[in-house]
């Protein structure tokens, strides 16, 4: 160091300069880390969004899960119904094989299919997706000229596990679709 500067740079001043440099470095690192974390959280939030289903194959797959459920319901097949209802729904409604037909909404006699009209998806885990479905239960009957088909609006949640190629289902109050209607 220059001899002229030595008197001015005492140990205190040197420590103060080192302390300030360390403080600036730490603040710089924290700022970079925070920006990285914000990007990560933003990316995660976008992945967790509920999005409209536009894939026709997925739309058909989920609709066919609901068709199976309606078939089991129409046949009063307690065992199969219990197998396809989501465990969350079973626990919430305290459903057993003995009371299942009393605890879930039944369909009038006859065979029904489901016509999905609108569907949203929400990624739950890597291979598990939750689908919110709005559609019509349509009674299958021989159509006569001028006969009207009986339809009933019905909402379901279908949880599809692509790793095990399985699904579970639960009747749904349609809150997502009703909110959407209120905002329009």
Residue pLDDT, tens place only, 149-164:
678 899 999 999 988 9
Quick one: pLDDT band at residue 83, thresholds 50, 70, 90? very high
The pLDDT value given to residue 50: 87
Over residues 23-32, mean pLDDT: 84
The CATH fold assigned to 51-183 is Nuclear Transport Factor 2; Chain: A, (3.10.450)
Q: Where are the domains of the chain?
A: 1-47, 51-183
Strand partners, 119: 133
Check residue 40 and give its pLDDT. 63
Per-residue pLDDT, averaged over 14-38, amounts to 81
Identify the pLDDT of residue 102: 87
* Cα–Cα distance measured from residue 34 to residue 158, given in angstroms and rounded to the nearest whole number: 37
Alpha-carbon span 60 to 143, nearest angstrom: 24
């Amino acid at each position: 160091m220059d001899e002229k500067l030595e008197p001015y740079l005492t140990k205190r001043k040197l420590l103060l300069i080192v302390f300030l440099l360390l403080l600036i470095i730490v603040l710089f690192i924290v700022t970079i880390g925070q920006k990285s974390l914000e990007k990560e959280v933003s990316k995660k939030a976008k992945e967790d969004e509920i999005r409209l289903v536009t894939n026709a194959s997925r739309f058909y797959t989920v609709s066919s899960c609901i068709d199976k459920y309606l078939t089991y319901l129409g046949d009063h097949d307690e065992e199969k119904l219990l197998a396809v209802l989501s465990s969350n729904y079973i626990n919430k409604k305290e459903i057993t094989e003995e009371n299942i037909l009393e605890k879930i909404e039944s369909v009038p006699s006859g065979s029904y299919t489901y016509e999905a009209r609108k569907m949203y998806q929400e990624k739950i885990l890597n291979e598990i997706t939750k689908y919110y479905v709005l559609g019509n239960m349509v009674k299958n009957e021989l159509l006569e000229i001028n006969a009207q088909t009986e339809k009933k609006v019905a909402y379901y949640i279908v949880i599809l596990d692509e790793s095990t190629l399985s699904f579970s289902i639960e009747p749904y109050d349609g809150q997502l679709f009703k909110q959407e209607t209120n905002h329009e």
